Structure 1
């Protein structure tokens, strides 16, 4: 295997060369117009013969087929495999060190022993920024657990609307002792939140020594101090236990771990379906309807760098019997594939317009909610919004430069054909239609969303996020390794967590998803549009917009890099410092 620095250089070289269609010519990008359409239509028709649809790899909507479609997949697989190979060099080295240093773990007899797994191992190599400071020392705090819903996995929780039927009941005396108000009052005041993983119990569980139940949980905004705190967790398994912070510390800790195992599974396959499936459906439709000289397709090609190489890897490594999912999660790989397809087709993750960044958060009552208090801190929104704003500004410059007015959008037959294709054979969900794509604002929002999906939305729960935050033990295992309790009274919580060998394998696999070699290079979000080959074919205003975007992202990176604890021992209202969305660390395109 090549040395790390040579592999890194190889990746950087590949990344610097955009994927070029076979018939690309060195001409300036132009939008469709009647004078050009006849010639462009012939090229598009020829392309459709070579780039077609095949069965969805790993579930979900169609994957590329045809001579050119399969060629795209092979090129992207080479990119994906090169990135993984480079990371594997680091990760194997870290695993070797970890295997030789197990004596310090004390057999993992206590939860604190699990934090030692990261001491001197993985923290500064496979993990680009190290495990989030505070996550290993403050993991027992309820605030650390609850604020994960607003940072490491922001996709599961929603606010319950006043008057909504309560999903389950918790004893009012217990609720009042914890929150100062009963459940109905918390609901009526718009303070009650809900995360529901109970539907997971309908999917195949792993039949080995891994266990999962499908928990759901309440969270609330404290009337006393405004903190976002956990209130109750229900197991949805046999006797259907309901745990609260009023239980013994061991029982309550076990409940939080059980919930997090479900939450981690949900996050990974929400991301798989909501980022990979959605963006691929959109892109394939664009390839088949937009000329290679269209600026919109040029931007999409940039954003979808290497994207088709990931689903084949998931189908070969994650989902098969005995694969990574079977080994580390409480649900099987086949369940993961079926669950991903369900999330996509139902629109939960697959809806395009309904899951636009702000639309999604408003729909779930996390921002701009008028029936209750605002969240005092919402780290995901705080970190994602500057990235979304900068992306929206760039896309505004792009669209307004190429389209003088809204009428020009309607006059672009290729854009309208893209709408029809996406809503037809590409099987996109909730995509704009030919009738609704009638303004520059609509196109700006759509392109901003694609960029958001392949960068911010993906990397918040995947890539570097796993080994630094979202999958960090002991609070975030993929499964329990002892049957789910049917009665309270747990004493040794470590018994429910994986043994040493499985822990090392688990961290090793989360490390394979990380991309520390990309940090600080032209593969980070800072350089999302910084493609000289593309920009030289664009109008000059787009290069200017790219420069503005880079400066904005560099400034944002400095803010995140310098983040630390305040005088109360908190960062963004959390007892851990979260830096996942540093735009000079996270990649600008999809990875595994």
Structure 2
């Protein structure tokens, strides 16, 4: 858009302070306001800042800047609650069916009584939810559009949320109570883990996880596609030989592969922060393996080449793929060790630290520094919907002492929390921008790594968001001087860097830089979170494929193992069910797709009100059209992929980190 089309007139906005639920009708920059309006802006920001305050003293995440409370505007909508509670009840129904299965036949009467009481309570929760849903249906069917009716419904919305909050916490508590009631039920087998899906669909990975190609595919299209790095030399502490490489990648040699840029490494050395924990008197194990992959000459997909189950080459030998009876199960153990490490890296570094906690810092800084008539306020706030709430719930029920992470992850809860804290405080905003990240990890070139679904689809979504941010920003900022003259923007950037502890965040001095920053914020809250959240259901609920702890020490040789020893690495059945239930909940709630900007209170009106944004030919319409085009391209790509990658289809990307 040309400079002449940028908005620089003095607006006639109404700045009311509290209770703003939609984007401004006439957004403006502070330098374009009258002195009186600037005073109103400052008064509104000061008032909002009393509600949105920082703390670094949350015991479960010490040192991480978080909100001290979840304000009313950040409570989820009724429709979000219905989606979450429906998933939760479906999980409880599966748990009820599983507890009747022979694998749990060893329960004591006391344990059975706990389960029976918990499931009775679950039925009461279900009835309460259905009553709330029916009330909401009646509200929706009413007149609903007149101001007085809207206000009445909005009021009932907020009151009902209190009941929903209690219901969800009750469901989480019931699930944990049911699973902690298990005492014996520890006859582990792959078939037994599959039997944990009684009323829920069994994911496909339950039948393919032992395949070496599937193992490799998870590095580029699984829950954690963020660690794989291209290398031009083998690390000194990972002595893979040319002979070992040639034996695995037929018709290739290691020197040529390295020179061509076809060799890739996943190194889990950062997991050294984890301290192995104990569960009910049983030792758990955490690992820091190294895994090498390569694209064969003329090939497209990476193949696993070698695994070392720890950082010390003198203790852990290099293991390679093998089908021989003497080496097969040692290789399976090595892959399991990698999967345990990857689960920890994914949940603590990539998922929790890299999406949830980063978005919360920016959400709080936005509320504290931008007036609700600032154009960036309108652009960004929808991408924070539900984030403060879901993070608060996670702190209280997932990563707390005695929570699921404490149980089925290998590290002590304190060391797992510390890992997330360190990862969050090291998160480098500009280096993590999607195109920069690919370049930093040497995985940007499709000629060297053709099959990298996450990269290829992420770049499409990034580009669509970038176009939207650019068109939007050019309406309100005439030139770079308008950016440097924006006092609220300067305070916002400084707050993110200092109070928010976001590494690398710096003063914004140009429109191009501001576009990149907004693209990164939106992408992180929406697409990046979707890419690392939703594989939790399709990949991570099945414990033999991915889990958070090993239950025996990493193997120190490849030969002489058997299937029973491999099974011993897997979690007790009750923890397998806890993992399934927890990740089924987190990976099943799709609420409000990217590009659908509405308020989070019934009747869910359009968020944007500025005619310059919402016109038929305006930036919002173009963004939505761009997302439809991306959807079509990914769907077409998936028709040619051996294994479709669906996590970055825009229809499958929620607007915000709300689960």
Q: Give me the TM-score of the superposition, normalised by structure 1.
A: 0.82
Q: Kindly tell me: are residues 413 and 526 of structure 1, through their superposed partners in 2, closer, same or farther at Cα, counting changes over 3 Å?
A: closer
Q: Is the 8 A contact 1:99 1:504 kept in 2?
A: no
What's 2:491 paired with?
417
What's 2:568 paired with?
495
Q: Is the 8 A contact 1:138 1:144 kept in 2?
A: yes
**Which one of the candidate residues 579, 590, 594 is aligned to 1:525?**
594
Q: Kindly tell me: are residues 541 and 164 of structure 1, through their superposed partners in 2, closer, same or farther at Cα, counting changes over 3 Å?
A: farther
What's 1:262 paired with?
341
**Gap regions ≥5 residues in structure 1:** 1-19, 124-129
C-alpha deviation, 1:173, in angstroms: 1.7
Q: Kindly tell me: are residues 561 and 96 of structure 1, through their superposed partners in 2, closer, same or farther at Cα, counting changes over 3 Å?
A: farther
Q: Kindly tell me: are residues 103 and 325 of structure 1, through their superposed partners in 2, closer, same or farther at Cα, counting changes over 3 Å?
A: closer
Residue 55 (1) aligns with residue 56 (2): yes
- Describe the SS at the equivalent of 1:548: helix
What's 1:6 paired with?
none
Inter-partner Cα distance in structure 2 for 1:472 and 1:588: 27
Q: Kindly tell me: are residues 507 and 51 of structure 1, through their superposed partners in 2, closer, same or farther at Cα, counting changes over 3 Å?
A: closer
| Deviations, residues 394-451 of structure 1 (Å, cap 9, x unaligned) | 1111101111222211121111121222222222211132xxx121111111111111
After TM superposition, the structure 1 = structure 2 runs for residues 78-477 of structure 1, keeping only pairs within 5 Å, are 84-101=84-101, 110-111=189-190, 114-115=193-194, 117-118=196-197, 121-123=199-201, 131=203, 133=204, 135-152=205-222, 153-160=224-231, 162=232, 165-179=235-249, 180-208=251-279, 209=282, 210-223=284-297, 225-236=299-310, 239-246=315-322, 248-270=327-349, 271-346=351-426, 350-368=427-445, 373-433=447-507, 437-462=508-533, 464-477=534-547
| Deviations, residues 134-180 of structure 1 (Å, cap 9, x unaligned) | x33332221111111111111111111x3575441123321221124
Q: Kindly tell me: are residues 390 and 21 of structure 1, through their superposed partners in 2, closer, same or farther at Cα, counting changes over 3 Å?
A: farther
State which drifts further: 495-504 or 402-411. 495-504
Q: Is the 8 A contact 1:466 1:472 kept in 2?
A: no
Q: Is the 8 A contact 1:79 1:306 kept in 2?
A: no
**Which one of the candidate residues 21, 26, 29 is aligned to 1:28?**
26
- Describe the SS at the equivalent of 2:292: strand
C-alpha deviation, 1:556, in angstroms: 4.0
Inter-partner Cα distance in structure 1 for 2:532 and 2:421: 18
Inter-partner Cα distance in structure 1 for 2:239 and 2:382: 49
After TM superposition, the structure 1 = structure 2 runs for residues 33-52 of structure 1, keeping only pairs within 5 Å, are 33=31, 35-36=33-34, 37-52=38-53
- Describe the SS at the equivalent of 2:27: coil
Q: Kindly tell me: are residues 412 and 330 of structure 1, through their superposed partners in 2, closer, same or farther at Cα, counting changes over 3 Å?
A: same
Q: Kindly tell me: are residues 226 and 34 of structure 1, through their superposed partners in 2, closer, same or farther at Cα, counting changes over 3 Å?
A: closer
After TM superposition, the structure 1 = structure 2 runs for residues 563-574 of structure 1, keeping only pairs within 5 Å, are 571=642
Inter-partner Cα distance in structure 2 for 1:329 and 1:336: 8
- Describe the SS at the equivalent of 2:513: helix
- Describe the SS at the equivalent of 2:552: coil
Q: Kindly tell me: are residues 345 and 103 of structure 1, through their superposed partners in 2, closer, same or farther at Cα, counting changes over 3 Å?
A: closer
| Deviations, residues 222-277 of structure 1 (Å, cap 9, x unaligned) | 12534311111111178323221147221111111110111011111122111122
C-alpha deviation, 1:334, in angstroms: 1.7
Inter-partner Cα distance in structure 2 for 1:556 and 1:336: 37
Q: Is the 8 A contact 2:262 2:296 kept in 1?
A: yes
Inter-partner Cα distance in structure 2 for 1:578 and 1:424: 38
- Describe the SS at the equivalent of 2:363: helix
- Describe the SS at the equivalent of 1:431: coil
**Which one of the candidate residues 577, 588, 593 is aligned to 1:504?**
577
Q: Is the 8 A contact 1:44 1:291 kept in 2?
A: yes
Q: Kindly tell me: are residues 113 and 53 of structure 1, through their superposed partners in 2, closer, same or farther at Cα, counting changes over 3 Å?
A: closer
Inter-partner Cα distance in structure 2 for 1:167 and 1:563: 39
What's 1:126 paired with?
none
C-alpha deviation, 1:70, in angstroms: 4.9
Inter-partner Cα distance in structure 1 for 2:542 and 2:510: 45
Inter-partner Cα distance in structure 2 for 1:461 and 1:85: 22
Q: Kindly tell me: are residues 122 and 390 of structure 1, through their superposed partners in 2, closer, same or farther at Cα, counting changes over 3 Å?
A: same
- Describe the SS at the equivalent of 2:357: helix
Report how many residues are paired.
Answer: 539
Q: Is the 8 A contact 1:329 1:479 kept in 2?
A: yes
Inter-partner Cα distance in structure 2 for 1:22 and 1:418: 19
Residue 590 (1) aligns with residue 650 (2): no
The structure with more radius of gyration = 2
RMSD after superposition = 3.2
- Describe the SS at the equivalent of 1:232: strand
C-alpha deviation, 1:34, in angstroms: 5.1
C-alpha deviation, 1:31, in angstroms: 1.8
State which drifts further: 69-78 or 254-263. 69-78
What's 2:67 paired with?
64
Q: Is the 8 A contact 1:353 1:432 kept in 2?
A: no
Q: Kindly tell me: are residues 342 and 580 of structure 1, through their superposed partners in 2, closer, same or farther at Cα, counting changes over 3 Å?
A: same
| Deviations, residues 25-79 of structure 1 (Å, cap 9, x unaligned) | 97522122154334423433444344332125442532223xxx55358736999
C-alpha deviation, 1:202, in angstroms: 3.2
Q: Kindly tell me: are residues 563 and 223 of structure 1, through their superposed partners in 2, closer, same or farther at Cα, counting changes over 3 Å?
A: closer
C-alpha deviation, 1:455, in angstroms: 1.2
What's 1:7 paired with?
none
Q: Kindly tell me: are residues 333 and 562 of structure 1, through their superposed partners in 2, closer, same or farther at Cα, counting changes over 3 Å?
A: farther
**Gap regions ≥5 residues in structure 2:** 1-15, 106-184
What's 1:13 paired with?
none
Q: Is the 8 A contact 2:52 2:71 kept in 1?
A: no
